[in-house]
Chains A and B, each alone.
Chain A
Amino acid sequence: QSALTQPPSVSGSPGQSVTISCTATTSDVGAFNHFSWYQQPPHTTPKLLIYEVTQRPSGVPDRFSGSKSGNTASLTISGLQAEDEADYYCTSVTNSATWVFGGGTKLTVL
């Protein structure tokens, strides 16, 4: 069982905002601010969207934003577009300097 829990699916209509949560279920990941988010459209390689909770790599639209409260990190996608339909994964480093992924969330754009 993953130490990071994500909802299996979320959905939204074009133009709306959606938020995907990522909750650390063990103490060895929750204390850090090293949460990242990845987007993986079908049959493609994962793409880094957010790192260090809130940082966006160059080229990632500002429609994608990250936040954290307690042991839960969140990815918010505003102005939803059809091309945002994908699987989204959170990840974090642990106390033992290993990494763990959340189970993934499938975003459906209605």
Chain B
Amino acid sequence: QVQLVQSGAEMKKPGASVKISCKTSGYDFTNNWIHWVRQAPGQGLEWMAIIHPGRDSGRSARSFQGRVTMTSDTSTRTVYMELSSLTSEDTAVYYCARDLAGGWTFDVWGQGTMIIVSS
């Protein structure tokens, strides 16, 4: 079955960067875009960015432009999202989610990665 498995929780200091991985299985890796969505504690969902695995083309929400970098590795079927210049407001659970081809939505989600930014 389709699975997205993310890397584990991390704690970072303000100003640092974090790189989260999202390893996929169960489908053709380059057929579906991958989204990144985050959720701060007690808050709602926030769309961050989208990447096409293999092409490494994508785009991000205006609020993350210049801070988010996405890459992919077709040999390991893994997508990466790096967020730089972290502040305490970046403390959140970060999800990768597969784009439903033709559905303009996210059909399968990773389990989430908790990132805590604290001095």
Contacts and interface: CB of A to CB of B under 8 A. Distances in A.
Interface of A: 2, 32, 34, 36, 38, 40, 45-48, 51-52, 55, 57, 87, 89, 91-93, 96-104
Give the contact-size bracket for chain B: 20 to 34
A55 B103 contact: yes
A48 B105 contact: yes
Nearest to B100: A51
Nearest to A96: B59
Given A45-B111, A45-B112, A51 B47 contact: no
A100 B104 contact: no
Given A45-B111, A45-B112, A99-B35, A36 B105 contact: yes
19 contacts: A2-B44, A40-B45, A45-B110, A45-B112, A47-B109, A48-B100, A48-B106, A48-B107, A51-B105, A51-B107, A52-B103, A52-B104, A52-B105, A91-B45, A91-B105, A97-B59, A98-B60, A102-B44, A103-B44
A9 to B, nearest CB: 13
Contacts of B95: 45-46
Nearest to A47: B109
Contacts of A87: 44
Interface of B: 35, 37, 44-47, 50, 59-62, 95, 100, 103-107, 109-112
Given A51-B103, A93-B104, A98-B61, A45 B109 contact: yes
Given A51-B100, A55-B103, A104 B45 contact: yes
Contacts of A36: 103-106
For B44, B100, B109, the residue with the greatest tally of chain A CB atoms inside 10 Å of its CB is B44
Given A45-B95, A46-B109, A101 B46 contact: yes
Nearest to B60: A98
A57 to B, nearest CB: 7
Nearest to A89: B45
A32 B103 CA distance: 12
Closest 5 CB pairs of A and B: A34-B104, A36-B105, A104-B44, A99-B47, A51-B105
